A and B are shown apart, each in its own frame.
Chain A
């Protein structure tokens, strides 16, 4: 069964510094996708970045980059130049293929607090 592990319940980072949020995964599938979502206190889930298992390059989206190490089964999120608005819960998720549609299996999440 697919599983996502986020070992950091909470993280602090100083404004303008970079921070890495850890994510490891377990799957026996050869083809899979990994996502990071941000959830502010208001509750909506905001897509940040996607990495496919066959993608050779690490994904980047603006200040977000994904450090994908396939052999280690890790997909860490790096946020550069942190901003106060980055304070939120961050979820790593894996796409699980189903016959119709695909579901997401989420990790427990990491709460990030950006200090001024």
Chain B
């Protein structure tokens, strides 16, 4: 089945130690998104890629970076995780069109713990 895969599902890192979360998709969608969802809050968009074009949200901290080496893969790098970065990180994909076909397909998420 076509899907969005995130690895690992659970990640534990130490304060200040760089960490990378990965996302892959078999849907061949042009657009990939990274959302941060803190406990009991709504998901918040960090950035997205349209093909190779990177689009950062204005309030995304510099501590968060992303790479998209090809259509299928996208990575979220947290350079120096702080305690406040503990959250669920959701990857999503979509076609760049409007209407019903613009539904975003989400991966299962990676739950990040910072010690």
- Is there contact, CB below 8 Å, between B102 and A33? yes
A102 touches B103 (CB 8 A): no
Does B103 contact A43, Cβ atoms closer than 8 Å?
A: no
Main secondary structure of the interface of A (DSSP, over half): strand
Contact string against B for A residues 83-116, beta-carbon threshold 8 Å, 1 for contact and 0 otherwise: 0000000010001011011111011110000000
Complex alpha-carbon distance, A44 and B88, angstroms: 10
**Are A101's CB and B55's CB within 8 A?**
yes
Q: Could you say which residues of chain B place their CB within 8 Å of the CB of A43?
A: 88, 90, 108-109, 111
Residues of chain A whose beta carbon lies under 8 Å from any beta carbon of chain B: 31, 33, 35, 37, 42-47, 50, 52, 91, 95, 97-98, 100-104, 106-109
Residues of B within 8 A of A (CB): 30-31, 33, 41-45, 48-50, 53, 55, 88, 90, 92, 94, 96, 98-100, 102-109, 111
